[in-house]
Amino acid sequence: MTESAEMSDRISIIVPTGMLGGGVSRAQVQYGLRRGASAIAVDSGSTDSGPAYLARGVSKMNRESIKRDLQILMAEAHRAKIPLLVGTCGTSGTDSGVDWTRDIVLEVATELSIGPKIVCLYSEQKADELIRKNSRGEITPLPPLGPISDADLKSCEHIVALMGPEPYIAALQAGADIVLGGRTTDTAVLAAVPLMRGAGVAQAWHAAKIAECGGLCTVNPSLGGVLMHVGRDAFEIEPLDIDNQCSPETLSAHLLYENSDPFTLTEPGGVLDASDAEYRWVDNRITRVTGSRWTPKPYTMKLEGARGGDFQTIMFIGIEDPEVLANLDEFHDLMQKTLTGRIRKTFGDEAVRFDVSLRIYGWNGTSGRPVPRGTVPPRDVGVMFVVTAPTQDLANRMAKACNPYFFHTPLRPGIEMPSYAFPFTPAEIPRGQVYEFVLNHVVHTSDAFELVRSVSVDPARANKGALDA
């Protein structure tokens, strides 16, 4: 096969940033359009920052940064008459995250005086429906978790299923200009248009996997997004900045990032195998990849669920007292015993469930593990106190009860009462709820649409409705 035949019928997709709200460049988007892009696709979600966003159904990114990026992307997509796809709206892809993003999109549409056809894709799931599927053996655990119980499913604040590309393709084929998706695999939203337009299936998924974090697969990730060119038997990744490069090493190394397996990637409806992929320079900015493989599998969607648990209150002190610094492990254990005892004594039966955790930053706060023998004492440490209890009120009261002891406990009896350095007043900071991921399971579905709801939004009517209200 000739070099150009590999890339025949190429479909080009602008990936302007790894995460909507991260800051997109109009000049870069326009560069991608001049290079023949037929869609803009961007991910708006992540589980990296922890379960709080899914459990609460709120966005990690603030509204203003999402709106600023959408202003640029919507204006450029409209001008070029190409679609804009956004995956995992609102960080966790709950229904509320899709609606929140939709409202920003409608606001921007009004400001730009445009009337794009918008389709919202929802993939949040009701516990009862999943309990039924579970009873039919249609939910399978992924390691390290085991089978899921009905109680666990019911305990989740939100459960989302990760969509594949098919609902996006259906929305585009029905004429959508903007598709706003709930939880979607990072790759599916980028692969959708190449797959719809007949590009190589393995090539589309592999390109999307590399481009999913925007410029992170480039030599200089601070220089913005990338462009995917997907052909029938090869794909190319090109940086959107003329001074940046996508090298064979940066592209192949990106498969390592945040993946437990760098070669095989399970997606809805199949598995990508990149173990025989070859990465070669096209010129000094662009790298071409061949040898990707795709094996179709029965359709599955990964599930994510999160729930709220107990509540925490924190306090923080600084210590420069050399006596304490020379005996930090002893100090930690003494403080742990003193504060735990204080809570037991003060709260009695009310303290059925609580946890006090002390982290000495500057010594072993990050790991909590023993420090090697003979380690030189630091000059300064910060000690964080974290109390966890069933309600915020109880956690606050426990912290208040501990306050004078956390402040004044001497290293040994007989030492004059010390006062450690509080940086804040009041010293106790209610931190909020502890959230927990619950699910690491896949659900087997009859097709890509069984658990997905698609809703068309007419901007004229939606904005009129907003005005009437």
Partner 1 sequence: MPKLSDICRHVRSKNAGPFWVTVDLFFDGEENFRRYHDTPALSPQVFARLFGTNPDLVRRIPVDNLHVVKISYPRPHPQGWMQERDMHAGQQFARLLDLEVD
Window 349 to 378, contacts with partner 1 (CB under 8 A): 355, 357, 359, 365-369
The yes or no reply on residue 310 touching partner 1 (CB under 8 A) is yes
How many residues of this chain interact with partner 1, rule: CB under 8 A? Answer: 39
Residue 256: alpha-carbon gap to chain centroid: 17
Alpha helices in 63-162 (DSSP H): 63-80, 95-112, 127-135, 150-155
Among 436, 453, 455, 463, binds partner 1 (CB under 8 A): 436
Name the one range near partner 1 by CB under 8 A: 112-120, 140-148, 193-201, 321-329.
Answer: 140-148
Structure tokens at 285: 């900015």
Least distance to partner 1, CB of residue 71, Å = 30
Sheet holding 178-181, edge to edge: 278-281, 287-290, 234-239, 226-230, 11-15, 39-45, 84-91, 178-181, 118-122, 453-457
- Residue 309 binds to partner 1 (criterion: CB under 8 A): yes
Handedness of CA 357, 363, 367, 373 (dihedral sign): negative
- Report the SS3 class of residue 137: coil
Task: Count CB-CB contacts under 10 A for residue 252.
Answer: 18
Q: How far is the CB of 1 from partner 1 (least distance, A)?
A: 22
Q: Confirm or reject binding of residue 51 to partner 1 (CB under 8 A).
A: yes
d(CA 280, CA 217): 15
Which has the closest alpha carbon to 354: 341, 368, 335, 365?
341
Give bridge partners of residue 140 from the DSSP assignment.
442
Total number of residues shown for the chain:
469
Number of H helices, E strands in the chain: 15, 20
Radius of gyration, CA atoms only, the chain = 26
**Is there a contact between 63 and 97 (Cβ–Cβ < 8 Å)?**
no
214 counts as binding partner 1 under rule CB under 8 A: no
Q: Which of 27, 256, 326, 460 binds partner 1 (CB under 8 A)?
A: 256
Is 187 or 388 the residue whose CB approaches partner 1 more closely?
A: 388
Out of 64, 249, 329, 450, name the contact with partner 1 by CB under 8 A: 249
Q: Smallest distance, Å, CB 214 to partner 1?
A: 17
Among 15, 304, 328, 427, interactor with partner 1 by CB under 8 A: 304
Structure tokens at 46: 């992540």
> Which CB sits closer to partner 1, 370 or 413?
370
**440 is a site residue for partner 1 (CB under 8 A):** yes
> Cβ closer to partner 1: 262 or 382?
262
Q: Tokens 């995917």 map to which residue?
A: 228
State the nearest-atom distance from the C-beta of 456 to partner 1, in Å.
33
Task: Choose, by CB under 8 A, the member of 64, 111, 258, 458 that binds partner 1.
Answer: 258
Query: For residues 268 and 297, is the Cβ–Cβ distance under 8 A?
Result: no
64-93 residues in contact with partner 1 (CB under 8 A) are: none
Rank residues 99 and 186 by Cβ distance to partner 1 and give the closer one.
186
User: 347, 420, 422, 437: which one contacts partner 1 (CB under 8 A)?
Assistant: 437
Closest approach of partner 1 to the CB of residue 439, in Å? 9
Rounded CA separation 189/182 (Å): 11
Interface residues with partner 1 (CB under 8 A) are 47-52, 143-145, 249, 252-253, 256-263, 304, 309-310, 312, 355, 357, 359, 365-369, 386, 388, 434-437, 440
